[in-house]
Amino acid sequence: MADTQSPIVRLTRAYRHLERLTEVIRIMVKFGFGDLFDRIGLGDVLIRARRLVGLTVPDHRPTRPRRLRQALEEMGLVFVKLGQYLSTRQDILPLDYLDELARLQDAVPPMPVDDVLRIIGQELDEGLLLDVSLEPLAAASIGQVHTARLADGAEVVVKVRRPGLQRQINTDLEILTELAEQVERHLSFLEFIHPLDLVAEFKRSLNSELNYRLEAINIDRFHHYYLHNPEVKIPILHKSLCTDSVLVMERLSGSKIDDLGALTAAGIDPSEVARLVSRVALEQIIEFGFFHADPHPGNLLVMPGPKLGFLDFGLVGTVDRAFRDRLLGLALGVVNRDAARVVRHLLRLTKPAVRPNTEALELEIGLFLETHLTGSIKDIRLGPLLKDILELLSQHDLRAPSNLLLLVKALVQLESLGLRLDPGFRIVEEAEPVIAKLYRQRFSPGHWWEIINRGGIEMAMTLEGLPDELSPLFQTIKSGRLPADLTIKGFEKMGQFINQASYRLSFAIVLASLVIGSSLVMHSKLPPLWHGLPILGLIGFLGAGIVGFWLILDFLRKYKDL
């Protein structure tokens, strides 16, 4: 009777996977990685594969990182995408592997135009797209882009996904998942990278690239942000022509962002373009919390103005307000060479695998800052700095979340592009006014009013539901079924703290009520009026200002050490 728990059964699950698995092993052995299968307990699979295809191990002259890149390219779409994903993981791979994997290309022979027209015909009504170009503008492993024309004459580009990808991808992802399980089971020294979590994250990223409806949502969101911005052009999306497999949007014309000759010929200063693209990208991160995570030259055009045009929206990142505030705190800590603050915000940005030794980490961060910040802050090269920080995090078992890794990837690409356009480009110098703007916003009265308003409303809702939550406890105490005689050390101080907190909370609720009530009075124009403004509303805002000012002073006095 066969052992259903053997590696070969777990790894193939069904006979259809055996052929693909054998092909993967053949390629890995061909490039000198057969030892990995022995190390993860799959020696029997390797023996079977060698017997089936007669594998021999050739003499390998290239470096191991280069051979890994070549093997991934030969294994196809999923493994190429995996390599591209791993090239952003400075926290788990050495620099020589990162540099080599960053060279991975997913360019493949274009689909026959008949297949393109067939897919368009299946997805869209006949006659909606005219004059689809015979030659693609671009071809990649997931899809390709053609020019076309709408019935009203508007020029568009149409992205068409290659057919039959999902089945191939599902098979390779199942094999990757099983391989990750084997790695976790047999290679304990790689436990810190969490192979199964890594594969799951990669799977989510890949599936999002496959669904063009998700890209359409990204385009629509960027279009909303830049609707009235003369420096940025987001192509108009034709929503009625977008499906899971087809995406239709306005065609943009301009110069490739890294074509210095074309920029100069068009009268556009490349250094001005470097400043523009960095300013736009930093605003996306810091102001919108929604950023283009793949700003490489193939995704960007420059039009007269100069105006920046975005072409592809398949890879985006998001950072919420709390995350951005932590990034701001981290940046201020680096600028001030404050190791304690840097560590505090790094711990808030990451996911510790084990309880970190903060004293040792602070010491290392202090040395790190002294090493990297020997000159002016504006002369910092952000790419090497971020890569070294991620390597330091991995040494302390601090896992960087996916949005932080995407952010680092985007910033590194952005700095590289800026230097290509202008050798004197300094991304930190470009970031300074954007960070200063965010800093002013965070400490503006309007921001504090927003926090107090939101906190007051949430606390009021909590207090409203508190009687229902506590009712069962009071009933139990009242019935005498919960006798208790508790003496808690330090309870008196806790009671004082609760009283003070309740006192401040009451003022915060009064403050929120004053702001809301005064706003309603101002809107209603209730007499008596002074210069056209209701006097009662003005008095209410004055009272709210006094209460808010007192609360801020009290907070700063009591918690200035935070």
Catalytic residues: 294
CA neighbours within 13 Å on the CB side: how many for 425?
A: 24
Cis, peptide link before residue 528, omega less than 30° from 0: yes
Question: Cα(116)–Cα(161) distance, rounded to whole angstroms?
Answer: 9
Question: Cα(108)–Cα(93) distance, rounded to whole angstroms?
Answer: 27
**Is 417 exposed, middle or buried (CB count within 10 Å of its CB: 0-12, 13-18, 19+)?**
buried
State which H helix or E strand residue 398 sits in: strand 398-399
Question: Cα(180)–Cα(193) distance, rounded to whole angstroms?
Answer: 11
Contact criterion met (CB below 8 Å) for 246 and 305: no
Question: Cα(277)–Cα(297) distance, rounded to whole angstroms?
Answer: 11
Q: Tell which residue, 150, 306, 146, 316, has the closest CA to residue 219.
A: 316
Contact criterion met (CB below 8 Å) for 215 and 247: yes
For every residue of 452-468, DSSP letters joined together read: HHHHHHHHHHHHHHHHH
Chain-centroid distance, C-alpha 78: 20
Provide the 3-class DSSP secondary structure of residue 232.
strand
Provide the 3-class DSSP secondary structure of residue 274.
helix
Contact criterion met (CB below 8 Å) for 295 and 414: yes
For every residue of 40-70, DSSP letters joined together read: TT-HHHHHHHHHHHT-------S-HHHHHHH
Instruction: For residue 256, list its beta bridge partners.
Output: 301
Provide the 3-class DSSP secondary structure of residue 229.
coil
Q: Tell me the one-letter amino acid at 190.
A: L
The number of residues in the chain equals 562
Q: Tell which residue, 223, 211, 230, 381, has the closest CA to residue 292.
A: 223
> How far lies 331's CA from each of 14, 319, 449, 504, in Å?
51, 15, 25, 32
Chain-centroid distance, C-alpha 561: 32
